[in-house]
Amino acid sequence: MSVTRSIAAEPIRILIADDHPLVRDGIAALIERQADMVVVGEAASGEEAVDRFSLLRPDVTLMDVQMPGRGGLDAIETIRGAFPDAVILVLTTYPGDVQAVRAMRAGASGYLLKNAVRKELTDAIRAVHAGRRALSADIAHAIAVHAFEDPLTPRELAILQLVAEGQANRQIAAHLGVSTDTIKANLKALFVKLGVDDRTHAVTVAVRRGFIAR
């Protein structure tokens, strides 16, 4: 008579990187209730996330993008550069499609919003651990909506950032070493690409979509 042995699968080992202790505690509490997951470490900054990843080698890292010092996107690039097989799921409050695309290009396997229901988060962790992608529905929709739009040029992005800082056209022109007429023309093209009519609305849209941070 043969005896069949059942060997339980190892739990998914998770590192949580977020600068808010209450957020980390809430995520950890949710994960610890999952039979197939375990939290192996926490980090409060991008720099700490890189160090903790190197030490712990988690199966999945939950990474916020806005943290003090080294940000989440830089941490993702650093980790993936050293460990190409690293699996990183962005968990953030920022719904910008541009930022989500940047995160995926940096090496993230998914991009989820913190207001996701608990099941969505745990399902996303299992999905990226299994080699699949995971995107919040709102993010996926926004990426699809803007997929065929003309990208902003490096100069347009620089102008947007300076506009967000409150600089006038003359100051921006001096900063970039071009004429005021050139800045006016660049702003006109920017407004068309963003679908806005003025500087204030341009900054609002740029922040919301993740072109710039404030």
User: Are 49 and 63 contacting, i.e. CB atoms less than 8 angstroms apart?
Assistant: yes
Residues counted in the chain: 214
CA distance 87 to 49: 13
User: Are 213 and 66 contacting, i.e. CB atoms less than 8 angstroms apart?
Assistant: yes
Q: Which CATH number fits domain 12-145: 3.40.50.2300, 3.30.70.270, 3.40.640.10, 1.10.10.10?
A: 3.40.50.2300
Q: Which CATH number fits domain 154-209: 3.20.20.10, 1.10.3210.10, 1.10.1040.10, 1.10.10.10?
A: 1.10.10.10
Q: How many CA atoms lie within 13 A of 205 on its CB side?
A: 18
| Burial (CB count <10 Å: 0-12, 13-18, 19+), residue 100 | buried
Q: Are strands 88-92 and 134-135 parallel, antiparallel or unpaired?
A: unpaired
User: Are 92 and 64 contacting, i.e. CB atoms less than 8 angstroms apart?
Assistant: yes
pLDDT at 7: 43
User: Are 43 and 49 contacting, i.e. CB atoms less than 8 angstroms apart?
Assistant: yes
In angstroms, the first-to-last Cα distance of the chain is 69
Question: How far, in whole angstroms, is CA 206 from its chain's centroid?
Answer: 15
For helices 97-106 and 72-82, angle between their N-to-C axes, nearest 10 degrees: 20
All structural domains of the chain with their residue ranges? 12-145, 154-209
Conformational region of residue 105, where left means phi above 0, alpha means psi within -120 to 50, and beta covers everything else: alpha
pLDDT by position in tens, the chain (length 214) = 444 433 457 999 999 999 999 999 999 999 999 999 999 999 999 999 999 999 999 999 999 998 888 889 999 999 999 999 999 999 998 888 999 999 999 999 999 998 877 889 999 999 999 999 999 998 999 899 888 888 899 999 999 999 999 999 999 999 999 999 999 999 999 999 999 999 999 999 998 888 987 6
